[in-house]
Amino acid sequence: MHVAAILAAGGIGSRMGSAIPKQLVDLGDSTNMLARSLSLLLGCPLIEQVVVAVPPGSSVGEIASPRIPLEVVQGGATRHQSVLNALGRVTDAADLIVIHDAARPFATRDLLERTIRAAEAHGAAIAALPVVDTVKQVEHGTIRATLPRETIFLAQTPQAFRRAVLERALAAGDVHATDEASLVERAGIPVHVVPGEAGNLKVTTPADLEQARVLARSTKTSMMRIGTGYDLHRLVEGRPLILAGVRIPFERGLQGHSDADIVCHAVTDAVLGAAALGDIGSLFPDTDVKWKDADSLLLLRGAMEKVSAAGYAVVNVDVTVIAERPKLLPYIDAMRANLASALAIDVSAVSVKGKTNEKVGEIGMGDAMACHTVAMLQGGERQA
């Protein structure tokens, strides 16, 4: 199966009453409907080409598409014409075509993939939502009938079709059709329905746009991620004591392959854990001589490069060091400053606390030190 996607963004959104096309209006999070819908399609591993039909005279701006080809065509006077224009640029290799409206920027990748898979199985498939309200048929302000609501579904996009099915339906076409499925139905071809999503809002009116802005904000906060880190090393004679990159005068130091900085190690694991990017041992194996006596602040910076590349930024970290001795208070600010620099955040977002183990166990006897950390990350635009 070779899948091409068409993004219908050619409409000017006359019902929005806005000076610029509705799909380019900022949703308050520096994205717009077109950018969000495009990133959904470009990020779907089943799709191998995207063709976007934009309103005449506008462009999609700078959109990086490293994985798959992205083509931009001018939209037509009608949706039908826009889809035809886009279809003209779909590669010959494509045997399945999925069409999505830019005005539905909150469809999920799961919905997209379910629709594509259903079209692969059945020839034609669309996302549609069952109705929950009782449905009345009304004429001239008076109810004519109560319709059996279990037979009523609200059509959404994505809609996906085998190429031959779509081409046949479009050729027979009605230029005023509001979706492709209705053309396929009219051609006598069964269209399979996959469960749509209530969150797959179609943004048509200024009120919808307000709701879209609220949704854009809420999907942003749902991108918060949390991670924990823990480390423990033995205290031995003849080693320096280094915590968060600060050399602390003490008669013993932590034993380990690197500088054995338990604070950096626990913080590294917490940020990697929050991003689900593995752990310090997988990134910097202690079997590698490269990390012998390594400065663990550099390891933390290395982990942060991975975290940033995945689209995350650190919001804050909270660190607890468990050590019977020495007193850490005089060094806390220097430790916080080192961590803040490595994490690229303000020192006010870095907390470091010292704790004794009440003389209990190995830590209490002064034979080891341990560190616990939690880290919160924000971001993760990893769909593409």
The footprint of Mg ion (CB under 5 A) covers 231, 265
DSSP 54-122: E-TT----S---SSS-EEEEE--SSHHHHHHHHHTTS-TT--EEEEEETT-TT--HHHHHHHHHHHHHH
Extract the tokens encoding 61: 């701006």
Closest distance to Mg ion from the beta carbon of 233 (Å):
6
Looking at the Cβ atoms of 40 and 263, the one nearer to Mg ion is 263
Please report how close the Cβ of residue 314 comes to Mg ion at its closest, in angstroms. Answer: 20
Four-CA torsion 24, 25, 31, 36, nearest 10 degrees: -50
Tell me whether residue 286 or residue 333 sits nearer to Mg ion (CB atom). 286
**Smallest separation (angstroms) from Mg ion to the CB of 256:** 6
Pick 179 or 231: Cβ nearer Mg ion: 231
Alpha-carbon distance of 359 to 322, in angstroms, equals 11
Question: One-letter amino acid identity for 320?
Answer: T
| Shortest reach from residue 102's CB to Mg ion, in Å | 49
Alpha-carbon gap, residue 187 to 191, rounded angstroms: 11
**C-alpha gyration radius of the chain:** 28
What's the count of helices (H) and strands (E) in the chain, helices before strands?
A: 11, 16
Residue 369: CB minimum distance to Mg ion, A: 11
Q: What is the spatial distance between Cα 228 and Cα 383, in angstroms, rounded to a whole number?
A: 24
b/e map 63-86, b = 16+ CB within 10 Å: bebeebebbbbbbbebbbbbbbbb
Sign of CA dihedral 276, 112, 69, 219: negative
Nearer to Mg ion, 161 or 284 (CB): 284
Q: In whole angstroms, give the CA distance from residue 342 to residue 336.
A: 10
Q: Minimum Å distance from CB 239 to Mg ion?
A: 13
- Closer Cβ to Mg ion, 23 or 296, answer by number: 296
Beta bridge partners of 362: none
By CB atoms closer than 10 A (0-12, 13-18, 19+), residue 315 is middle
| Shortest distance (Å) from residue 262 CB to Mg ion | 6
> Is the CB of 180 or the CB of 231 nearer to Mg ion?
231
**Residue nearest Mg ion, CB atom distance:** 265
Residue type, 285: P
Min dist. Cβ of residue 231 to Mg ion (A):
4
Sign of CA dihedral 256, 262, 268, 271: positive
Instruction: Name which of 54 and 343 has its Cβ closer to Mg ion.
Output: 343
Write the single-letter amino acid at 150.
E
Tell the smallest beta-carbon distance from residue 241 to Mg ion (Å).
14
Nearer to Mg ion, 34 or 370 (CB): 370
Q: Which is nearer to Mg ion, 228 or 383 (CB)?
A: 228
Which pairing describes strands 70-74 and 47-54: parallel, antiparallel, or unpaired? parallel
Q: Looking at beta carbons only, is 203 or 243 nearer to Mg ion?
A: 243
Least Å distance, CB 297 to Mg ion, is 13
Residue with tokens 């959904």: 40
